[in-house]
Structure 1
Amino acid sequence: MAYVEWRGNTCRVVWNTGRKDDRGKWIYDQKGGFTDEVVAKNYGLDREADVRNDRYVSRRDGAVLMSEYVKTWQQTLDVGHLRKRNVESIIRLYIAPRWGDTAVANIKPSLYRAWELWLKEQEHIGDRYRGEILLIFSMMMDDAVDDGLIQSSPVQKKKRRRGRYKKKPRERKRNMRMEDVHQLACNALSFWGFPGYVYVWTFAMTGMRPAELYGLRPEYCHPNWPASDPLDDVNEDDREERHVEDLERYGPTRMPAIRVQWQHQRHEGIGKPGLYVPKYESRRTLVVPPFLAELLEMLLDGREAEWVFTSINDGPLINANFPYHYWRKFADGREAKETFERVRLGQQQTVATWRPVSELPAVERWQRKRQYLMRHGHKEWIDEDGHSRIATESRMGHELAGVEGLYSNVTPAMEEAIMESLQERWENFIVTLPDGWEPPMSPSSLPVDLAGWMKLQVKMAKARAL
Structure 2
Amino acid sequence: MARRTLDVYTEWRGGTCRVKWWSGEYHANDRKRFESLGGFTDEDEAFKHGLDMLSEIRRGDHVANRDGATLMTDWLDDWLDGMDHAHLTEKGYRSKVENHIRPYFKRTTVAEIDVLAWRAFRKHINKKVAAGTAKNVMMVLNMVLDDAAPRLIKASPVERTKQRGKYQKKTKRERKRDMALEAVEQLARNAETYFGYAGYVFMWTMACTGMRPAELYALTPDYCYPNWPASDPRTDPDEEERYEEEAERYGKGEGLMPAIRVERQVQHEEGELRCFPPKYGSSRTLVIPPFLAEMLEKLLTSHDREWVFTAIEGGCLGSVAFDSKYWRPIADGEPAREGERVRRPRAAMPAVSSFKGRRLYLIRHGHKAWLDEDGHSRIAVESRMGHELPGVEGTYSSVTVAMERAIMKKLQERWESLQERLSRPES
TM-score, scaled to structure 1? 0.84
Correspondence 1:205-224 to 2 at 5 A: 205-224=208-227
- Residue in structure 1 matched with residue 362 of structure 2 by the alignment: 373
Query: Are 2:388 and 2:394, in contact at CA under 8 Å, matched by a contact in 1?
Result: yes
Correspondence 1:41-440 to 2 at 5 A: 42-43=45-46, 45-53=48-56, 54=59, 55-122=61-128, 125-147=129-151, 149-159=152-162, 169-232=172-235, 234=236, 238-253=238-253, 254-267=256-269, 270-338=270-338, 352-434=341-423
Q: Distance in 2 between matches of 1:174 and 1:364?
A: 10
Query: Are 1:2 and 1:16, in contact at CA under 8 Å, matched by a contact in 2?
Result: no
Residue 9 of structure 1: CA displacement? 6.8
Residue 423 of structure 1: CA displacement? 0.5
Q: Distance in 2 between matches of 1:37 and 1:396?
A: 67
Q: Distance in 2 between matches of 1:367 and 1:223?
A: 33
Q: Tell me the secondary structure at the aligned position of residue 431 of structure 1.
A: helix
Q: Deviations over 1:65-91 (max 9, x none)?
A: 111111111222222111111111111
Q: Distance in 2 between matches of 1:131 and 1:298?
A: 46
Q: Distance in 1 between matches of 2:224 and 2:164?
A: 50
Q: Distance in 2 between matches of 1:430 and 1:50?
A: 78
Q: Tell me the secondary structure at the aligned position of residue 17 of structure 1.
A: strand
Taking structure 1 as reference, are residues 165 and 152 closer, same or farther at Cα in structure 2, changes over 3 Å only? closer
Comparing 152-161 with 178-187, greater Cα deviation is found at: 152-161
- Gap runs ≥5 in structure 2: 1-7
Q: Which structure is richer in relative contact order (CA contacts within 8 A, separation 6 or more)?
A: 1
Give the AA of the match of 1:141: L
Q: Tell me the secondary structure at the aligned position of residue 113 of structure 1.
A: helix
2:3 corresponds to 1:3:
no
Q: Tell me the secondary structure at the aligned position of residue 406 of structure 2.
A: helix
Q: Deviations over 1:364-385 (max 9, x none)?
A: 1101110111111001111111
Residue 409 of structure 1: CA displacement? 1.3
- Residue in structure 1 matched with residue 33 of structure 2 by the alignment: 27
Q: Distance in 2 between matches of 1:43 and 1:83?
A: 48
Q: Deviations over 1:238-285 (max 9, x none)?
A: 422111111111111121110111111123xx3222111111111111
Residue 154 of structure 1: CA displacement? 2.1
Taking structure 1 as reference, are residues 44 and 127 closer, same or farther at Cα in structure 2, changes over 3 Å only? farther
Residue 398 of structure 1: CA displacement? 1.0
One of 11, 21, 24 as aligned partner of 1:15: 21
Query: Are 1:207 and 1:379, in contact at CA under 8 Å, matched by a contact in 2?
Result: yes
Q: Distance in 2 between matches of 1:162 and 1:380?
A: 38
Query: Are 1:214 and 1:316, in contact at CA under 8 Å, matched by a contact in 2?
Result: yes
Residue 161 of structure 1: CA displacement? 9.2
Comparing 419-428 with 19-28, greater Cα deviation is found at: 19-28
Query: Are 2:19 and 2:50, in contact at CA under 8 Å, matched by a contact in 1?
Result: no
Query: Are 2:10 and 2:46, in contact at CA under 8 Å, matched by a contact in 1?
Result: no
Residue 162 of structure 1: CA displacement? 11
Residue 403 of structure 1: CA displacement? 1.4
Q: Deviations over 1:23-78 (max 9, x none)?
A: 4322112345x4x6426x63453143133134432221111111111111122222
Taking structure 1 as reference, are residues 255 and 2 closer, same or farther at Cα in structure 2, changes over 3 Å only? same
Aligned length: 414
Query: Are 2:379 and 2:398, in contact at CA under 8 Å, matched by a contact in 1?
Result: yes
Give the AA of the match of 1:58: A
Taking structure 1 as reference, are residues 19 and 12 closer, same or farther at Cα in structure 2, changes over 3 Å only? same
Comparing 49-58 with 401-410, greater Cα deviation is found at: 49-58
Cα root mean square deviation, aligned? 2.4
Q: Deviations over 1:311-330 (max 9, x none)?
A: 11101111100011011111
- Residue in structure 2 matched with residue 344 of structure 1 by the alignment: none
Give the AA of the match of 1:309: F
Give the AA of the match of 2:162: K
Give the AA of the match of 2:26: K
Q: Distance in 2 between matches of 1:398 and 1:336?
A: 41
Taking structure 1 as reference, are residues 2 and 257 closer, same or farther at Cα in structure 2, changes over 3 Å only? same
Query: Are 1:185 and 1:196, in contact at CA under 8 Å, matched by a contact in 2?
Result: yes
Q: Tell me the secondary structure at the aligned position of residue 313 of structure 1.
A: coil
Comparing 129-138 with 188-197, greater Cα deviation is found at: 129-138
Give the AA of the match of 2:297: E
Query: Are 2:118 and 2:158, in contact at CA under 8 Å, matched by a contact in 1?
Result: yes
Q: Tell me the secondary structure at the aligned position of residue 158 of structure 1.
A: coil
